[in-house]
Amino acid sequence: MSRAEDDQLTDGERELLAIAVEHLRAAVVEYQFVTETAVDRARIERAQVAVATAEDELWRLRASLLRWQRPSWAPSASLVADWFSPKDAI
């Protein structure tokens, strides 16, 4: 089965993907904030779980709607969030 194109999606499907992307973006922002400010291990772990859950949902939707499979080499969003901080911005 070939990959679907974005223009083959319904407005509702596009909205589902947009919501999933926004959830992941928000979870990563929260994770970055928590890892920069929190000393509470449980809070950091909750933030990591939130990122993983949002990322899994986005990839589930991509697989379902676009027939995209996550590459085995793709890093997790929380790992990528650790690479870059506001201090790294140009």
At 32-90, the pLDDT tens digits run: 899 888 788 999 999 999 999 999 999 999 999 999 888 888 888 877 655 555 555 55
What is the model's pTM? 0.79
Q: Answer for the pair 55, 24: CB distance below 8 angstroms, yes or no.
A: yes
Q: What is the Cα–Cα distance from 14 to 83, expressed in whole angstroms? A: 29
> For residue 84, what pLDDT is reported?
53
